[in-house]
Chain A
Amino acid sequence: MHRLNGVGLAGLDRHSESTRSYAALSSSLSQSQIRHLESQLTIRADANFRHKFTQMCGSIGVDPLAGPRKGGWWAELMPGFGDWQYELGVQVVDVCVSTREKNGGMMELAEVVRLVTEEDIIRCIKTLQPLGAGYQIVDLGDGRKMVRSVPKELDSDQAVILALARQPGKFGKITEEELVEEKGWTRQRAKGALENMLIRDGLCWHYDRVYWVTSAMQWD
């Protein structure tokens, strides 16, 4: 395309001319896509349908929300990131549109978060895996799940500690004694696991011999 443009001022003019036309075309396309999308979403679709829909959009190179431009630096570096954003975006539109009759088009953010289901979040996190940053759902084994965002393997002792620290009444606090008494660990095992979490992984804070798991800490 650059070769066709020629050189000099005329070439520059032609270039900006075509950039303008592309911009106009793209904005009219996105607008019609949004209208189309909105009409689709007034029928409340299930999570599965939404997933298929965004996959379809992705495969034909259409941006359903006219969101971040495709094919940019991010998309090249991290395939899957765009999909994740579209997917989340489509879900937000879906939730907002389907509750519009009840709330008149204004919705509390916390409510949006609640309605984007756990299943959706788990699927989103799976699409983040190509990032290589360790995004993964860790099952604590007692019905609770945590989102991991560090590229470290969580060993089974750490999973036990995380689960124990999050039990009601513990408020994230954990000691060697508790692990020895409640889990039947040897003192060395308890000390080793806690110190790894403290010094190597930064998963807890300490004061003397008492440890607090940061994921259970309250800040504000």
Chain B
Amino acid sequence: MALSTHTTTTGFLLPSIHSQAAFFTQQVHPGSLLTQTDAWITLILKYARHRRLFTIRVEDCEAPGNEWHEVLRNERINRKLLPSYLSYILNRMVSDKVAAYEPPKQDRSVLIYWRLPEEWAEILHEWVTSTGNLNTIMTFYEITDPPIETQLSGLPLPLLRQAIVILSKTNRAQIIAIAEGEGVRFFQSTGKT
């Protein structure tokens, strides 16, 4: 009966609030709702980082057995998040700039920024530099699906594209048309940012 933390099968430590029945009900008082939604956003970002998940959909709280199952539901207290509240949470995440609707022009699915695009841009540039790939043309595939797993493995294309755009603003990357579609060339940091 007492609220306590819980370690899931994937090794994620759920906070005590997750075993609070009311946590799954969208609260009416604006102050309560703000606090509650903040707690949900923190939880979603932490879990996404833990499992390297990049997408969450409103539908994820309905279909059982998906990758968000153990966060969006608590079977020990027989509660689950309702689609209407998850939709509200995703909207808040987008306005807080910790997520973006992807694809754009719909509001059922978001790309989660458990690292901001700016942070991905730096990680990308450091990786390219450390692997000696500066000034060579790379395909997007070579970055997101390298033979040996890296921090960038599995990075969704829209996020990769955003990171490259950020780097190109400081003249550290340039998108180039190549035979297979699109490629990118990275340059050394000029020191002028």
Interface residues of A (CB under 8 A from B): 169, 171, 198-202, 204-208, 210, 212, 214, 217-220
Which of chain A's residues have a CB closer than 8 A to the CB of B16?
Answer: 218-220
B36's closest neighbor in chain A, by CB? A205
Interchain CB contact under 8 A, A198 and B28: yes
Which of chain A's residues have a CB closer than 8 A to the CB of B32?
Answer: 202, 204-205, 214
Which of chain B's residues have a CB closer than 8 A to the CB of A200?
Answer: 29
Which of chain A's residues have a CB closer than 8 A to the CB of B20?
Answer: 205, 212, 217-218
Known: A171-B1, A206-B22, A207-B22. A199 touches B17 (CB 8 A): no
Known: A207-B22, A214-B32. A171 touches B2 (CB 8 A): yes
A204-B27 Cα distance, complex, nearest whole Å: 9
Instruction: For the complex formed, measure the closest distance between the CB of A170 and the CB atoms of chain B, giving whole angstroms.
Output: 9
User: Which of A207, A214, A220 is in CB contact (< 8 Å) with B21?
Assistant: A207
A201-B28 Cα distance, complex, nearest whole Å: 11
10 nearest CB pairs, A to B? A202-B29, A205-B22, A202-B31, A218-B16, A207-B22, A218-B3, A207-B21, A207-B25, A202-B32, A219-B17
30 A-B pairs with CB atoms under 8 Å apart are: A169-B1, A171-B1, A171-B2, A171-B3, A198-B28, A198-B29, A199-B29, A200-B29, A201-B29, A202-B29, A205-B23, A206-B22, A206-B25, A207-B22, A207-B25, A208-B25, A210-B21, A212-B20, A212-B21, A212-B22, A214-B35, A217-B17, A217-B20, A218-B4, A218-B17, A218-B20, A219-B15, A219-B17, A219-B39, A220-B15
